[in-house]
Amino acid sequence: MRKKSRIVILLFGALALLIATGCAGTKYVPKGTVTCPANITWNVVPQADITSFSCTVAEFKKKPAVIFKVGVKNISNKAQRFRVQIYLLEEGKAVGHLVPRKGKPPVLKPGQEKVVTCPVIKATQLPTKLEVVIKTISID
């Protein structure tokens, strides 16, 4: 009887551990430097990597703005085009950019990196919570 209760406790412990670790997805961690004090949630496709990310308050075209600089690298084995979207969750604002913006064809070759600037006009202070989304888009 005592041996059965130990086995049951061991099974419940193993099940709890499996549930706790199995349900938690792997979080993306940028390989480059991140110089932004916000709490950032990353949602990045496996074909891309963030090589740099920064946010500053400055003027953009003579208006106050929070300026994001995002370095995106194509780590897949084929040419890709990416869409960068940055959501300022508490401010209710968002900004986006295509990487690369133009070209013939507008793609990043494997291993190629591009840094883009994404200004949020009329934002006067750094955000506290962000969501950064990088997706691949069709190049046809």
Q: How far is 35 from 67, CA to CA, in rounded Å?
A: 12
Tell me if 33 is assigned to some domain: yes
Tell me if 12 is assigned to some domain: no
Q: Which residue range is the domain that position 120 belongs to? A: 27-137
For 15-65, write each residue's pLDDT tens digit.
444 444 444 457 888 888 999 999 999 999 999 999 999 999 999 889 999
Looking at every residue in the chain, the average pLDDT score rounds to 85
C-alpha distances in angstroms, 6 versus 2, 11, 15, 17, 120? Answer: 6, 9, 14, 16, 59
Tell me if 6 is assigned to some domain: no
CATH (domain of 66): 2.60.40
| pLDDT for residue 139 is more than 80 | no
In this prediction, residue 140 has a pLDDT band, given cuts at 50, 70 and 90, of: low
With CA atoms as reference, report the closest residue to 56 among 6, 105, 117: 117
Q: If you average pLDDT over residues 77-97, what whole number do you get?
A: 94
Tell me if 103 is assigned to some domain: yes
Tell me if 13 is assigned to some domain: no
Q: How far is 90 from 66, CA to CA, in rounded Å?
A: 14
- Res 15: pLDDT: 46
